[in-house]
Structure 1
């Protein structure tokens, strides 16, 4: 499908969609327990439904029901008490990388062979560190096509022990192991030598696991590493991130708040509307449901503040107000995206319409998302006249040089929800823009277009 976007001025009040990251983890962690759990305010998107179906295949009872008091849809989970069964068919995760990684590690706890696959995009996303670690832990884990991408086969069972894993590609591998290791019969230790990218997502995993009564200790250790041979060597000190995980633990999210767990609002999805309201002259938005949490993308508030936006956050009420009544242009900043990879497409658009230069660094892992987002944003923003340079690990966008020369064009959404929604903001700024593959928004924000229409966006699908 294609959307044609006109110049628009967003105004009004809107509630942030639920967090995709929290919904994934809450569904799985509730499934790992025994008692019934009600998940309120969940995100019911293509990705989270993939996790729901995968948990059903492992033996959990996962249902969508209507809350009799609020009329809202909730997810009710009755888990398999830490004893996942062998799925009777292949697990198809669709487009969800999170589902694939979480379920691949859980498959290592199952006695028997588990096969996992996904769509065309998933079959291009590598899982090398996770497969390597599962094999080191005693499972037989491999890619059918021999490229470390889905379809994957896992033949358990993994055994407790000490392993190291590369944290530079995706935090999802770490989260997957952290959730499965407490089920093992002995203690485990996971050491991460390279910088752990997207660590806030691991923090979300630990937060929800702790609410389910699971103990995982995180600490840093200094180690001396010798490189080279004979006289030609050097010794360097590194800080190793270590997770210590006791075995034989029981998950029970039912003990938290009498079995009622509310999913927080999603800052990744909120970033598009907040950014649009800071860029577009005359815009004024109030967003509800955005309380402090472990989400790294809550940094969008800090980023917009640094860029000079008129923005305020009432953390107690979970309300963010942002406006551009005086038609101000923001200023470019330097931003390390190591912990906030999902904000990169949004920040690229922010930079294109700001003064000065926006420099996004430490974002090489963004190349391994639904698509290579550094390449995608460079190509599409160039089409509308933005001056943008793709580097090995980031982007440099000159809003100063782009000023006055950007105009609408037909751009490609790369079948990537975050690319589509970011380009939609650009379309609201300059008008006369068409974006294809817009159905991809169902991955994380299925009501995106309905919500945009409510606040005054002008477009046709």
Structure 2
């Protein structure tokens, strides 16, 4: 039985739960056939991954029982579920007909998390491990955090450094990657932190620790990052002051239970949108998607490229605006320039936007995308290599990505791609096959389970 097929209904457990890991990822190669028909109709993408993580973690921190619905059932979110179970939360969620998870989470509240009996394995989930550092910092326990081979290569010092300034301790001292141990303290001091990067994970870790610190903690960013944390915390009884690029919490607050309904993930929606933009004759509606301005930068980029894309607000899920994104194919796309200040709102969508840029007339430039080098894999190098297989000239110049588009691009036959265990790359290269004229093979296409397990089924259903 695969990790994603295991029941999630659980009782309290202090045992760490191993989570899905790319160390054990299949080596299987998947053949992606061209779609027989254009994409038409409506689709609902899975729940937002960022909001799903936070719904699980914040519920675990709260006093009482929270009800969550629409939670993404993916390997990454299951890593967060496994982690909070290991720390003493009671999780009882069940899979729904639409594939989402719905149910209750009873948190540890003022008692704090329990000392787990072993290391917490965060699988491939950077969000899980980085937010957990902020969750654990205010408590007198020592927890070892680890993950799969990919996660063990990703930078963690950026989170550990400000938490050390607040009073938490990490071992080994100065550790830059996993595995590492965090020892928290109930005597955290508030800080005012100038972040060197725009990172919602970094910001959230500091804010979560700051809620239990002495004084007011502030985070200042060079550009606005995702604000899901700032929108969600008030529902859990935690007051937050925020403005674009800065956020503050005062210490001495506590979490209470809350109901959270998770809207569709804009990052997942981006792959559907780009598929429709690339496949002639396509016209689709992507429904119930989060329209948070910090998450739909990809829409603005596609607009500038000349894509037929529009957004219609239809309501909200808690404080998160949501609605429908409609996309239709157009014959001519044009290159554009994507500035550094925009990157935080579309960083996860750069691989698929790069594929669209490969079809556009002119040279598209994505500025200040060095962060791609430290994602699940080196996405910057992978994009350049993958587009090269299509006969597209793409290159990195410093931290900027340049793509010389080829209008009317037709991918050659016999292409093979390696996802490198990266879900965003697996979905991106699959669009070469789905929207093209020749099949492509993708090594470890199943990496999509990290964020969108039903991706292939949804694409093929829209083409029936």
TM band (smaller chain): 0.7 to 0.9
Partner of 1:4 in structure 2?
31
Kindly indicate whether the alpha-carbon contact (under 8 Å) linking 1:15 and 1:288 is maintained by their aligned counterparts in 2.
yes
CA apart distance, 1:212:
1.4
Partner of 1:440 in structure 2?
447
Give 3-state SS (helix, strand or coil) of 2:406's partner: helix
Partner of 2:19 in structure 1?
none
CA apart distance, 1:109:
1.8
Task: State the TM-score, normalizing by the size of structure 2.
Answer: 0.85
Q: How does 1:112-261 map to 2 (within 5 A)?
A: 112-143=141-172, 147-157=175-185, 159-168=188-197, 170-184=199-213, 186-192=214-220, 195-196=222-223, 199-201=224-226, 203-218=227-242, 242-254=246-258, 260-261=259-260
Deviations 1:212-235 (A, max 9, x none): 121122368xxxxxxxxxxxxxxx
Deviations 1:138-177 (A, max 9, x none): 2221348x65100011112151222435332743122112
Aligned partners of 2:41 and 2:147: how far apart in 1? 38
Give 3-state SS (helix, strand or coil) of 1:289's partner: strand
Q: In structure 2, which of residues 397, 412, 415 is the aligned counterpart of residue 391 of structure 1? A: 397
Aligned partners of 1:147 and 1:392: how far apart in 2? 27
Larger Rg: 1
Partner of 2:11 in structure 1?
none
Change (3 A) 1:50 1:433: same
Q: Which runs of 5+ in 1 are unaligned?
A: 221-240, 255-259
Q: In structure 2, which of residues 402, 412, 431 is the aligned counterpart of residue 425 of structure 1? A: 431
Q: In structure 2, which of residues 104, 121, 141 is the aligned counterpart of residue 76 of structure 1? A: 104
Q: In structure 1, which of residues 329, 334, 342 is the aligned counterpart of residue 337 of structure 2? A: 334
Runs of 4+ in 1 over 6 A off after TM superposition: none
Q: In structure 1, which of residues 354, 357, 368 is the aligned counterpart of residue 363 of structure 2? A: 357
Aligned partners of 2:202 and 2:215: how far apart in 1? 19
Aligned partners of 2:90 and 2:378: how far apart in 1? 36
Partner of 1:264 in structure 2?
263
Partner of 1:451 in structure 2?
458
Deviations 1:373-416 (A, max 9, x none): 11111111111212111222231111138845755511111110
Does 2:381 correspond to 1:375?
Answer: yes
Change (3 A) 1:249 1:444: same
Q: Which runs of 5+ in 2 are unaligned?
A: 1-27, 316-322
Aligned partners of 1:265 and 1:373: how far apart in 2? 24
Aligned partners of 1:85 and 1:39: how far apart in 2? 22
Does 2:288 correspond to 1:289?
Answer: yes
Aligned partners of 1:162 and 1:183: how far apart in 2? 12
Give 3-state SS (helix, strand or coil) of 1:315's partner: strand
Aligned partners of 2:235 and 2:89: how far apart in 1? 19
Give 3-state SS (helix, strand or coil) of 1:330's partner: coil
Change (3 A) 1:315 1:169: closer
Aligned partners of 1:112 and 1:91: how far apart in 2? 13
Change (3 A) 1:176 1:78: same
Give 3-state SS (helix, strand or coil) of 1:4's partner: strand
Aligned partners of 2:364 and 2:414: how far apart in 1? 21
Aligned partners of 1:456 and 1:323: how far apart in 2? 14
Aligned partners of 1:118 and 1:365: how far apart in 2? 20
Kindly indicate whether the alpha-carbon contact (under 8 Å) linking 1:357 and 1:399 is maintained by their aligned counterparts in 2.
yes
Partner of 1:321 in structure 2?
326
Give 3-state SS (helix, strand or coil) of 2:68's partner: strand
Aligned partners of 1:404 and 1:377: how far apart in 2? 17
CA apart distance, 1:313:
2.1
RMSD: 2.4
Aligned partners of 1:118 and 1:335: how far apart in 2? 33
Kindly indicate whether the alpha-carbon contact (under 8 Å) linking 2:287 and 2:325 is maintained by their aligned counterparts in 1.
yes
Task: State the TM-score, normalizing by the size of structure 1.
Answer: 0.85
